[in-house]
Each structure stands twice: as C-alpha cells, then as structure tokens.
Chains A and B, each alone.
Chain A
Amino acid sequence: NAGVTQTPKFQVLKTGQSMTLQCAQDMNHEYMSWYRQDPGMGLRLIHYSVGAGITDQGEVPNGYNVSRSTTEDFPLRLLSAAPSQTSVYFCASSYEAAGEQFFGPGTRLTVL
C-alpha cells in the first residue's frame, strides 16, 4: 500500500491564482481530513469528510473548498490564493473518525 499520498510536494503561487492540492489513499479509509501547519503552531483542521459525498468544515475553512466524489480521493481547492495561505498542508485518513489517523508527507505552499 502507498498509504496517503499528496501532490505536489512544493508549490509557489501568485496572489489570486487558484490551484488544487491532491490527496489520495489506498487503505479504503472512510474518514479523510485536511490540515494546515504554520511555523511554531500545531496543525489546524481545514475540512474533513466522513465518507464519499459528505464533507464538513473544520476550524479554518475560509478560502478553501473540498469535495469527496470517491473514497480514495479528497482534493483541496484554493479558490483565490492569498499570502496568508502560505503554509504546509497535510492530508490524513483513518478507517473511522475515532481511529488512528495516517498523515501524508505534506505540500509546502508559498503564495507571493
């Protein structure tokens, strides 16, 4: 199993550009989530999904969209990038919401 994969590893955007961060897992996990991690801070939950077709907001959802059309994929879309969205983004999955979460390697995003 590849586990949780994220692409790209690094990305530089200009303010106002849009892009999609990809996340995929091959463990048939129902629960998937997106976090951002800023320097000197812990992770903050952006959006999460308890199964295909179901998504919900986390602590910091503004400026981000998600969809869950399949169990395997959970893309995160930045609609209009802002410098405040410069961060490292982690995707995670687990068999259920209360289970052990497996994190991907992260995407380092810089918005100029």
Chain B
Amino acid sequence: GESVGLHLPTLSVQEGDNSIINCAYSNSASDYFIWYKQESGKGPQFIIDIRSNMDKRQGQRVTVLLNKTVKHLSLQIAATQPGDSAVYFCAEDYTGTASKLTFGTGTRLQVTL
C-alpha cells in the first residue's frame, strides 16, 4: 500500500552545519510532495513543496530534492540554527494536490550549540 517513511528518527546537528533529512516513499503514482516542520505543542508548519516534474526546489535556507527513480525525497537545511530544532515530516499525494496527503512518521532534528 501507500506509505511514506523516514530513514532516521533522530538527527543531531551542530549549529551552523547543514542538515539533511531523508524520506522514502513507496507510491510511484505520487506527484506532489511537501515538507512540514512541527515544533513541540504546535501544529505542522509548511516548509516547502515540490511536484514530480521537478527534481529540485529551493527556498530560504532550504532545498528539497526529489529522486523519482529511487522514490526518495530529502530536505536540506543550510546553516542550521537552534530554531530549526523540531520534528520534520514529509508527505506525499497522488492527486496532484494536498487533498489526500500521506505523512511519514517524522524525524526529530536536534541542533547542538
């Protein structure tokens, strides 16, 4: 069935370093992907999205890479800051919209000083 998973449940990164959070998805029909950040006690916050006709998209300090051949998604955060500490979720959708999102289980990013 459809599933979205993450390779690392916890990622510890030193402040100033770059972070890479990985995600594997199993539904080859998925055509829309989103990364969310969730801080403790809060709702998820949209970070960046990418469609299947792209393999890279950049935002402010973040880059999402999509490799459809191996069904892999990654989120790169440049110059990681303490405020980046949170749980990060990838989500996929096969409808081309966000109306049928399937979320991964999340990766906790810990930024050490």
Contacts and interface: CB of A to CB of B under 8 A. Distances in A.
Interface string B76-102: 000000000000010100011111111
Interface string B21-54: 0000000000010100000011111100100000
Contact of A105 (B42, B49, B103): B42
Given A42-B4, A42-B91, A42-B106, A50 B99 contact: yes
Interface residues on A, range: 20 to 34
Given A42-B91, A42-B106, A98-B32, A103 B44 contact: yes
B74 interface: no
Contact of A31 (B4, B44, B91, B99): B99
Contacts of B102: 42, 59
B98 A97 contact: yes
Given A43-B101, A44-B103, 6 more contacts: A31-B99, A42-B4, A90-B43, A90-B44, A98-B32, A99-B98
Contacts of B49: 100
Interface in A94-112: 94, 96-106
A103 B38 CA distance: 10
A41 B46 CA distance: 18
Contacts of A45: 100-101
B63 interface: no
B91 A58 contact: no
Contacts of B89: 42-43
